[in-house]
Structure 1
């Protein structure tokens, strides 16, 4: 089984996508790499350009943006080596991130799950997120979830 933990904000209202992504990035360490599935320039003068992200949201078709960061503070947790992903398909927008839970030193898994769930719910409240869930990647598989929206998932019983 994968040790990658994934948190997904699904079906975000378009007007809140960039704000949510920039909030997550503002809590990150150094951006290591940014890649886009389409030829859209997202780095301007060494920084991720929020205005360029509009091109992603308005792209005619599906597009994915990958952003690797050295770490990311999520509530009271510092997550190591995070991969953020923005996915646009049809007129739907998802943001997810994952990290290797094995890279976290001296971390109690139950506390990690509880903190991730709490902070994900807080972020979702302020950004018109249709659904949120977290678990082992792929968290889209309900059998590998620690939480879905306000509810604990199957794996939370095993922690």
Structure 2
């Protein structure tokens, strides 16, 4: 059975959310299948835009947007065939999560090192409280490859 991996960008600044999502989308060939956990949130044509993000932020409850990023370029040499993008808005803020399955011809350690570098680059462009990545669910510190720029138990 293939492993699943996750990278979390925690508590993204609302003012940076649209730019961050645009950057993630630009790192892939295509965003497809954008859906909302709440049926009255209008995902329109399935693209991420200012009106959609404003609607998500204004919503009083918890909401999740999800879509698939195809051919997600993590580094100049590493491209993931499909990455699940989740935008989770909850009472404390907004998290952006990137999940993907193990790719048979790519070394997981190399992919996660590249994801750490990619996330660090994002942290220099956009404001969020922290980033971490590991086996899904990455919230488990015992199965993390990294927390910020520090290696976790699996990233040694």
Moved over 4 A (4+): none
The 2-side partners of 1:130 and 1:104 are apart by 32
Shift of 1:104: 4.6
Any gaps of 5 or more consecutive residues in structure 1?
A: none
Q: 1:114-129 maps to which residues of 2 (within 5 A)? A: 114-129=113-128
Partner of 1:78: 79
Partner of 2:94: 93
Residue pair 1:28, 1:69 contacting (<8 A) in 2 also: yes
Q: How many residues align?
A: 154
Partner of 2:62: 62
Shift of 1:3: 0.7
Residue pair 1:5, 1:137 contacting (<8 A) in 2 also: yes
Instruction: Confirm or deny that 1:27 pairs with 2:30.
Output: no
Helix, strand or coil: the match of 1:51? Answer: helix
State the TM-score, normalizing by the size of structure 2.
Answer: 0.90
Q: 1:11-26 maps to which residues of 2 (within 5 A)? A: 11-26=11-26
The 2-side partners of 1:121 and 1:109 are apart by 18
State the TM-score, normalizing by the size of structure 1.
Answer: 0.88
